[in-house]
Amino acid sequence: MNKTRESEIGKSTNTTLILMLCTALSRLLGFLRVAVIGALFGASGVADVLNTVFAIPNNLRKLLAEGALSSAFIPVLSGSIVRDKTLKKARRLAGNLIGFLLIIFVPFLSLSIIFARPIIDVLLPFPERWKIELSISLFRYLIGYIALVSISSVIMAVLNSHGKFVIPALSPPLFSLCVIGSILIFATRMGIFSVAIGVLSGGVAQIIFQLPLYLKHGYSLKPRFSFGDREFRETLRLWAPVVASASIFAVNQQFALFFASGLEDGSTSALANAIIFWQLPFGIFSISVITVLFPRMSRQSEKKDMMGLRESWIYGVKFIVILLIPTTFIYLVVGREMIQVALQRFKFTDYGTNMASGVLGMYSLGFVSVGIFNFNQRFFYSNKNYRVPLYSALMVSLLDITLSLWLKETSLRVSGLALANSIAFTFGLLFQISFIKKKLSYLSRGRIVLLSLKVSIIMIPIAFFMESYKRLTSQWWTEGSSWSNLFLLLINLFISVVFIMILYMLFKVDILSEYIGAFKARITGKGYEKN
C-alpha cells in the first residue's frame, strides 16, 4: 500500500472514529426517547398505534430521503465535484433536486391527508375500531415528516460529498431532543399527539442545524426546475432502481408490521423496541463506516481506481466483522438485561421486556450479515451498479416474507419475524459476494473468514464471563430500571469491552492498531500514518 493510500486509510479511521462518537450520542438519545415513550405509554395498544403509524413515513424516508436519494445522489455529486472544481454543476444539481422534491411532496402530502382513512384501512388492519381512528389522526400529523427529512437528506448528502461528516451526524440528536421535549411539555394535555408535534419540530431542527455549513459551501435552498440538466437526469436514472430496491425493503418491513399487528398485544411495540436496541451498535459501527467510505468509493470509481476500491471494501468489511461479531455475542447474553434496565418502568412491565428481548435475540443473529449486506449495497451504488442491489433486495424480501409466514405461527411468534429477517439477509449476502468477486478479482476472502473465526473464538470466554457475572450478582436486573442496576450493567459491559480489546491486541486482530493510532492522533494533534 503506498503512502497516499495509507494516509487516506488513516484519515478514514480518524473520521470514522469521530462519526462513531456522534452516532453514539444520537443512538443514546434515541434510547432516551424510546424510554420516555415507554414510560408514559408502555407496551400498550396506544404505543402499538404510534409505532406502527410512524413506520409508514419512516419507511418512505428510506425511499425518498437518505436511503435511496443519497445512494443515487452522492455518486453523481461526487463525480461532479471531481470533474468541476468551480462546483457550478454540483450546486445546480442540489437545487434541481430540491425543486423535484417539492413537486413530489406538495400533491403527495395533500392526497395523503385527504385519503388517510383508506390508506390506514389497507396498511394497518387493527381489529379494534379505536385503534383505526387513532391511526388516521396520527397519520395526518406524522406524514409531514417525510418532506422535512427529505430536504435534510439533500443537505446531508452535499456535506458528506464534501467530506463534512460531523455536523450532519449531530443533527439526528436534535430530532430526539425535540421529541423528548415535546412529550415532557405536552403529554399531559395532548397525550400521544405530543410525539407527533415533537417529530415535526425535530424535522425542522435538522434542516436548520445543517443549513449554515451548507450555505457556506455556496449551495442554496432555492429550488431549481432545470430538469433537462445532465447531472439531474443521471441522478433520476440511478434513483429509479434504488427506489425499487428500497421499496422492496419498505414493503418487507410493512409486511413484518402487518404480521405483528395480527399477533398478541405488544407485538409491534416489541419489534419497534428491539430495533431501537439493534440500531444502536449497528448505527455506531456499520452506518458510520458506510457514511465515510461511500463518498470515497464513489470518487475512486469515478477515477477508475480499482486498487483503492478493493482496499476500501476490505477495510469496511474487516471493520464490520471486528465490531459486530462481539456485538452479537453481547446482545445474545445480556440483551434482555439491557432492555429491562433501560425500559422497564411504570407501564412498561416484564411482559414487554420478554417480548422485546426475544425479538432482539433473533435480530442479533443477523448483525454481521446485515452490516456487510448494507455496505455491499453502497459499494455497488458507488460503481453505479444498481442491478445487483435490486436483485439482492428482491431475494432477501421474498425469503424473509416466506419464512415469516411460517415462523410467526410457531412458538417463536413475533420473534420468528426477526429470525426470518436474519436468515434472509445471510443468504442475500452470499448472493452479493459472488458479484463482488467478479468486480474486484481478488478479495482476500480467506483472511476475512479467518478474521471472523478469530473474533468468534475470542468472544467465547467473554460470553462466559458476562453470563457468570449475571449469576454472581443475583439477577439484579429483574427489578427493572434503577441507577444501581444501570451501574451494575455498565460494569459488566465495561469489563467485557476491556477484555475484548486486550484479547484483540494479544491475537493481533487487524484494524485495531489503526483505531489506537487514530485515537492517539486525536489526543496529540499529530497526523496518523500506519507503519
pLDDT tens, the chain, 531 aa long: 455 555 555 556 667 777 778 778 877 787 788 778 777 776 556 777 887 788 788 777 766 655 566 777 888 888 888 787 788 888 898 888 889 888 888 898 899 889 988 888 877 767 777 888 888 888 888 888 888 888 888 898 889 888 888 888 888 888 889 989 998 888 888 888 888 899 899 999 999 999 999 999 889 888 888 888 888 888 888 777 777 777 777 677 778 878 887 788 778 888 888 887 887 888 788 878 888 888 888 888 888 888 888 888 888 898 899 989 999 999 999 988 888 887 777 667 777 788 888 999 999 999 999 999 989 988 998 888 888 988 998 999 999 999 999 998 888 888 899 999 999 999 999 999 888 887 776 666 667 888 899 999 999 999 999 999 888 876 655 666 777 788 888 899 999 999 998 998 888 786 655 555 544 554 455 544 443
Encode 463-489: b = buried (16+ Cβ within 10 Å), e = exposed. beebeebbeeeeebbeebbeeebeebb
Q: Which three cell numbers stand for residue 193?
A: 399527539
d(CA 87, CA 220): 12
Q: Per the domain annotation, does 24 fall within a domain? A: yes
Q: Per the domain annotation, does 79 fall within a domain? A: yes
CA neighbours within 13 Å on the CB side: how many for 341? 19
pLDDT at 499: 93
Q: Which three cell numbers stand for residue 475?
A: 439477577
pLDDT at 479: 65
For 264-314, give the DSSP string. STTHHHHHHHHHHHHHHHIIIIIIHHHHHHHHHHHHHHHTT-HHHHHHHHH
Query: What range defines the domain where residue 479 resides?
Result: 3-519
Count the domains in the chain: 1
Q: Per the domain annotation, does 164 fall within a domain? A: yes
Q: Per the domain annotation, does 525 fall within a domain? A: no
Q: Identify the three-state secondary structure at position 220.
A: coil
Closest listed residue to residue 445, CA positions, set 389, 371, 372: 372
pLDDT at 295: 84
- Identify whether the C-beta of residue 318 lies closer than 8 Å to the C-beta of residue 449: no
d(CA 249, CA 247): 5
d(CA 186, CA 101): 31
Q: Per the domain annotation, does 527 fall within a domain? A: no
Q: Per the domain annotation, does 188 fall within a domain? A: yes
Cβ-proximal residues to 116 (8 Å cutoff; 6+ apart), any chain: 136, 139, 140, 143
Closest listed residue to residue 272, CA positions, set 37, 20, 479, 26: 37
φ, ψ dihedrals at 227, nearest 5°: -75, 0
Cα–Cα separations (whole angstroms), residue 133 to 120, 127, 138, 164: 9, 11, 9, 44
Q: Per the domain annotation, does 220 fall within a domain? A: yes
The number of beta carbons lying within 10 Å of the beta carbon of residue 221 is 14
Q: What is the DSSP letter of 128?
A: S
pLDDT at 518: 47
Q: Per the domain annotation, does 440 fall within a domain? A: yes
